[in-house]
C-alpha cells in the first residue's frame, strides 16, 4: 500500500448468519480470520430466522473480533482502519457489526469505511489470487445474489446481468426443503447429488434462449416441485430417486451459470472470470466452469472454500482499498438492506 497508515485493517462481517472478523495486512495478506457460524441456531427452522440471527450476533461480535485481534498478534492500537459490511443483508444483523465497528473506530480514533457485501465477495478473488488484475468478469452466486459484473481497471463494477427472481443459492435451499435434505440446503443438495444421475430428469435451463445476461431460478424450483409431486410426493421417493432429482437440479442450475459466464466473456471480450459467493463452493460448478474454461481458452478463478462463504477477510481487503483511495465514512454510516453496487463506492478492481 502507498499509505502506511492502512497497514492493518480490521474487517467485520455480519450481513446474515455468520459473525466474522479478520485482520488484513497491506490490503492483501490475511493475518487472522475468525468465523462464528449460526447453523445450529437455525437448523431447527430449516432457514435463517432474522431475529435469532441478530441476537446471536450481539452475543458473538465482541468475542469474535477480540479473537481475530488475538490471532493476529496485534494490539488494538496497531490497527489503522476499520472496514465493516454496511449492506445488503438483514438489517438487524448488519446493525450489530456496523455499530460495533463504528464504536471501535471512535475509541481508537481511526477511520471507518462501509463495504458493500458483494464488493467484498468480488474482492475475495483478488485476495486469493493477487495476480488477478482487471478487467475481468465477476460472477457472484450466493443465497441472496446471482449476478454478472464487469470489473474495470478504474475500479468500476458494472452490472451485466442479474437474477429476475430467486438467487441460485435460494433455489438450492428451497429444493433441499422439497427433497427433505435439511439445512443448510446448498451443501445438502450437493451431497445428495454425488450419488445421483444428473441426466435422470431433463429440467429446464431458464433464460438461456433469451437475449441478455439475466438469470431466473423460480421456474426451475417450481419444475422440481412438480417432479416431486409427479412421483407421488416426498414420502414416495426412494433414496436413489432423491439423489437423481438433486443431481438433475444441480446440473440445470450450474449449467446456466457456466453458459451465462461464457456469454459474458465473449460479449465483453475478456479472458478471465472470477466466481465468488457461497455457491462458488459447489463441486459441480467448479468442475464444469474449469472444463469449459480450458476448452474455450479463458481463465477461471475460484477463491478457496473458506473465502466463498461469508467472511470478514474479504470485507477488510475491500475496505483497505477504499481507505487507500481516500474514502471515509462518518459515525452516521447506516445499514441498508438493498442497494446496487453502482450506488456504493466500490473497492473491487
* β 112-116/18-25 pair status: unpaired
- Shared domain for 152 and 23, answered yes or no, is no
- Shared domain for 181 and 197, answered yes or no, is yes
Q: Tell me the DSSP string of 190-223.
A: HHHHTTS-TTSS----TTTTSSSS-B--HHHHHH
- Shared domain for 146 and 281, answered yes or no, is yes
- Shared domain for 275 and 314, answered yes or no, is no
* 3 state DSSP class of 116: strand
* 8 Å CB contact between 146 and 159: no
CATH code, domain carrying 326 = 3.30.420.40
Question: Model pTM?
Answer: 0.92
Which of 98-107, 271-280, 333-342 has the least mean pLDDT? Answer: 333-342
343 band by pLDDT with thresholds 50, 70 and 90: low
What's the rounded mean pLDDT across residues 22-50? 94
* 3 state DSSP class of 301: strand
- Shared domain for 322 and 192, answered yes or no, is no
- Shared domain for 146 and 270, answered yes or no, is yes
pLDDT by residue (tens digit) across 187-227? 999 999 999 999 999 999 999 989 999 999 999 999 999 99
- Shared domain for 214 and 183, answered yes or no, is yes
- Shared domain for 169 and 210, answered yes or no, is yes
| Domain coverage including residue 101 | 4-122+307-343
Asked if the structure places residue 170 within a domain, the reply is: yes
Asked if the structure places residue 348 within a domain, the reply is: no
- Shared domain for 98 and 29, answered yes or no, is yes
Q: Number of structural domains, the chain?
A: 2
CA angle 109, 113, 118 (to 5 degrees): 155
Amino acid at each position: 500500500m502507498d499509505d502506511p497508515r492502512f497497514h492493518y485493517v480490521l474487517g467485520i462481517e455480519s450481513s446474515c448468519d455468520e459473525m466474522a472478523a479478520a485482520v488484513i495486512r497491506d490490503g492483501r495478506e490475511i493475518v487472522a480470520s475468525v468465523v462464528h457460524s449460526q447453523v445450529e441456531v437455525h437448523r431447527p427452522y430449516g432457514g435463517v430466522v432474522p431475529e435469532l440471527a441478530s441476537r446471536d450476533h450481539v452475543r458473538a461480535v465482541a468475542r469474535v473480533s477480540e479473537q481475530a485481534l488475538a490471532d493476529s498478534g496485534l494490539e488494538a492500537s496497531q490497527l489503522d482502519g476499520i472496514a465493516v459490511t454496511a449492506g445488503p443483508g438483514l438489517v438487524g444483523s448488519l446493525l450489530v457489526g456496523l455499530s460495533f465497528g463504528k464504536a471501535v473506530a471512535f475509541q481508537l480514533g481511526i477511520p471507518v469505511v462501509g463495504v458493500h457485501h458483494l464488493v467484498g465477495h468480488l474482492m475475495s478473488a483478488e485476495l486469493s489470487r493477487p495476480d488477478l488484475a482487471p478487467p475481468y468478469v465477476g460472477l457472484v452466486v450466493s443465497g441472496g445474489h446471482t449476478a454478472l459484473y464487469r470489473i474495470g481497471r478504474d475500479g468500476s463494477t458494472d452490472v451485466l446481468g442479474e437474477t429476475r427472481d430467486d438467487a441460485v443459492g435460494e433455489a438450492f435451499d428451497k429444493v433441499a426443503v422439497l427433497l427433505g435434505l435439511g439445512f443448510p440446503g446448498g451443501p445438502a443438495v450437493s451431497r445428495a447429488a454425488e450419488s445421483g444421475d444428473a441426466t435422470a430428469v431433463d429440467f429446464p435451463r431458464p433464460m438461456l434462449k433469451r437475449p441478455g445476461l439475466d438469470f431466473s431460478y423460480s421456474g426451475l424450483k417450481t419444475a422440481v416441485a412438480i417432479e416431486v409431486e409427479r412421483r407421488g410426493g416426498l414420502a414416495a421417493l426412494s433414496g436413489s430417486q432423491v439423489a437423481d432429482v438433486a443431481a438433475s437440479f444441480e446440473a440445470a442450475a450450474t449449467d446456466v451459470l457456466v453458459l451465462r459466464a461464457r456469454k459474458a466473456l465473449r460479449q465483453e471480450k475478456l479472458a478471465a472470470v472470477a466466481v465468488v459467493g457461497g455457491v462458488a463452493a459447489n463441486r459441480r460448478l467448479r468442475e464444469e466452469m474449469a472444463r469449459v474454461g480450458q476448452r474455450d481458452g479463458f481463465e477461471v478463478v475460484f477463491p478457496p472454500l473458506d473465502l466463498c462463504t461469508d467472511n470478514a477477510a474479504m470485507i477488510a481487503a475491500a475496505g483497505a482499498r477504499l481507505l487507500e483511495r481516500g474514502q471515509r465514512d462518518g459515525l452516521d454510516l447506516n445499514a441498508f438492506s438493498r442497494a446496487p453496487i453502482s450506488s456504493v463506492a466500490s473497492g473491487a478492481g
